[in-house]
Amino acid sequence: MTSPRPRIEGDWLLVPAPQDHRPYRLFCFPHAGGDATAFAPLAHALAPAAEVWALRMPARGGRSRHRMPATFDLLVRTVTEALLPHLNGRFGFYGQSFGSLLAYEVARALPAGQRPETVIAGSASAPGTWSAPTPPQYQAEELLRTCGMGELVQAEPELRELALRAIRSDLAVRDTYRYRPVPLLDTALHAVAGDADPLLDAALLAGWAEHTSGAFGLTVVPGGHLLATVERPGPVGLLTSIVGHRPEPTPREPRWPRAQSLVR
């Protein structure tokens, strides 16, 4: 039996591996410059337990002619409106780097009763650290190299320029972000990072616990800055366990992880 072909839902969403039944939906938010297709291996690895719905960001890939919203707040509002018709049944958010920040803020912007069961923040420090201007190690050229894309596009100048343009587009929006401490997220939140991430100290993951009144978890897995890529499915074991777990009906206080959970 052949697998169903990928499906596009409107401008903003790609379903890389559609499922015949209605499983848990995992909405995936890409890193700066990232494309929805990066989550295809993850989608196949999680099926049939979950169906991945990946965000198609403007100014790249099939949306290269679509303009990126001018500010982070406008991006959040636009993505929230695009997701609302699809938020039924069980679902969660998984973001990587810049996508973690976007996933968190979209979750906060959603109406009560239509928020994800869990927000999984991958490869990112907590929102309160994002209000400063983009640090040098997060500039477009360095991100392209650190995320492992430099070698892939080195021999293709046009492809390289397209990749850099997408990264710069996202970083420009990221620089308009201003963290607001309220309202606090009221759903479960899980922070995850690779043990060999050159851009993020795993000890910073604990800061995410202050940003939810729900349950908090923290995991360090083998890997670099980007966990789910076009070549690797990412933290499948962790995501499978989260998908299969139904959160408690009432939120709990954040649980600070033991120090040894941060040992690489």
Tens of pLDDT, residues 239-259: 999 998 877 654 444 443 333
pLDDT the model gives residue 190: 98
Q: Alpha-carbon torsion 104, 106, 109, 113, what sign?
A: negative
Specify the pLDDT at position 30. 96
Q: Where are the alpha helices (DSSP H) in 84-192?
A: 98-109, 140-146, 150-153, 157-174
pLDDT at residue number 127 = 95
pLDDT score at 253: 44
Task: Classify strands 13-15 and 50-55 as parallel, antiparallel or unpaired.
Answer: antiparallel
Question: Given pLDDT bands bounded at 50, 70 and 90, which one contains residue 61?
Answer: confident
Closest CA to 106 of 27, 216, 36: 27
Distance from C-alpha of 243 to C-alpha of 50, rounded to nearest angstrom: 7
Task: Tell me the domains of the chain and their CATH numbers.
Answer: 7-262 (3.40.50.1820)
Bridging pattern class, strands 91-96 and 118-122? parallel
Confidence of residue 204 (pLDDT cuts 50, 70, 90): confident
Residue 107 has pLDDT above 80, yes or no: yes
pLDDT at 250: 44
What's the pLDDT at 147? 60
> Would you give the DSSP letter of residue 129?
G
pLDDT 10s digits, 142-180 = 666 666 554 555 556 667 677 888 888 999 999 999 999
Read off the pTM: 0.88
Percentage of residues in the chain having pLDDT higher than 90 = 65
Q: How confident is the model at residue 50 (pLDDT cuts 50, 70, 90)?
A: very high
Q: Residue 246: what pLDDT? A: 78
Helix, coil or strand: residue 238: helix
pLDDT of residue 216: 97
- Beta 24-29 vs 50-55: how paired, if at all? parallel
What is the percent of the chain with per-residue pLDDT over 70, rounded to a whole number? 81
